[in-house]
Amino acid sequence: MTNLYPVRDIFVHANGIRHHLLARGAPGAPVVMMIHGLAGQAHTFDGIANFLAARFHVYCLDVRGRGESEWGPPEQYTIDTYVQDLEAVREALGLQRFALVGTSMGGLITMQYAPRYPERISHAVLNDIGPEIDPAGLQRILAYLQGAPEMFADLKAVARYYRQHYAPMVANLNDDQLLEFARYNVRRSDAGVYVWKMDPAIRTAQPAPPSIDPWEAYRAISCPVLIVRGAQSDVLSPETARKMLEANPRASLVEVPGVGHAPLLTEPEARKALEAFLARSDGH
């Protein structure tokens, strides 16, 4: 697919630190803001953002401490801080209203942001995440998060790491696509090896619960909600997804076959559902 609008790097100072976003699409088109998972960064969304840019002005945010965004104080790597960051970034960009797409941790941010700022959000997409996290998936994520090697000899070693530890997410990527996916998570150090871009403090941070109870926050989302679930997910269980449909009458669900945590949203089922959902005028 040819991109009519080249990717633009945007830096804004908001809530005390410098944040980085990737922007695609035509300014003036409906805005979509995409937020990645715990150990991800903005390029995670490259595939789906390129697709959506034909119809939307798409921003992909590097959450503080990741990608090209500045690192913050270790005690501030919390969902509440990320919500404050998002609102400050929105204000800095001058955005009035947008759709919010959150993968995993990005979905937790979405669930907390939407009820606080209902006038800002037209649509909310929760990608393989809910108010309850399956303990098995949580333990798996914490194990690879805390046990990750500090450095890699080359990019192929980085790609092998992702093939092993992110198999549910990258199962459908070929080797070249995986290398492209992996390279944005690391940088070459002065010693010539590849090290993580992410602040090491994130790996050992003690997660603080958000100030609004997760189920209470989810039920309070007043815009339409699309829940995307990887059919093999160990993070968002079928039972929790069903409870989410019951708890919020504005919610709908799509399951992505053959994928675990979390879909890249380029899968045909996810892409089709996402495009149709976002095309609903003003969230109705």
Query: What residue ranges do the domains of the chain occupy?
Result: 8-134+213-283
pLDDT per residue, tens digit, the chain (284 aa), is 455 568 999 999 999 999 999 999 988 999 999 999 999 999 999 999 999 999 999 999 999 999 999 999 999 999 999 999 999 999 999 999 999 999 999 999 999 999 999 999 999 999 999 999 999 998 988 888 888 899 999 999 999 999 988 888 888 889 999 999 999 999 999 999 999 999 999 998 888 899 999 999 999 999 999 999 999 999 999 999 999 999 999 999 999 999 999 999 999 999 999 999 999 864 44
Say if residues 87 and 121 touch (Cβ distance below 8 Å).
Answer: no
pLDDT score for 3: 53
Q: Which residue has the tokens 């929760």?
A: 126
pLDDT score for 283: 43
pLDDT score for 265: 97
Give me the sheet containing 251-256, strands edge to edge: 8-14, 17-24, 57-62, 31-35, 98-103, 121-127, 225-230, 251-256
pLDDT score for 10: 98
Mean pLDDT of the chain: 94
Say if residues 270 and 256 touch (Cβ distance below 8 Å).
Answer: yes
pLDDT score for 12: 98
Tokens of 173: 């990527």
Q: Please give the model's pTM, rounded to 2 decimal places.
A: 0.95
DSSP H or E segment with residue 30: none
List Cβ neighbours of 66 (8 Å cut-off, separation of 6 or more).
36, 39, 40, 41, 197, 198, 199, 202
Say if residues 266 and 240 touch (Cβ distance below 8 Å).
Answer: no
Q: For residue 244, give the DSSP letter.
A: H
Q: Is 188 exposed, middle or buried (0-12, 13-18, 19+ CB in 10 A)?
A: exposed
At residue 130, φ and ψ (nearest 5 deg) are -150, -175
The domain 8-134+213-283 having CATH identifier 3.40.50.1820: the answer here is yes
Say if residues 228 and 126 touch (Cβ distance below 8 Å).
Answer: yes
Distance CA 171, CA 177 (A): 11
Q: Is 29 left (phi over 0), alpha (psi -120 to 50) or beta?
A: beta
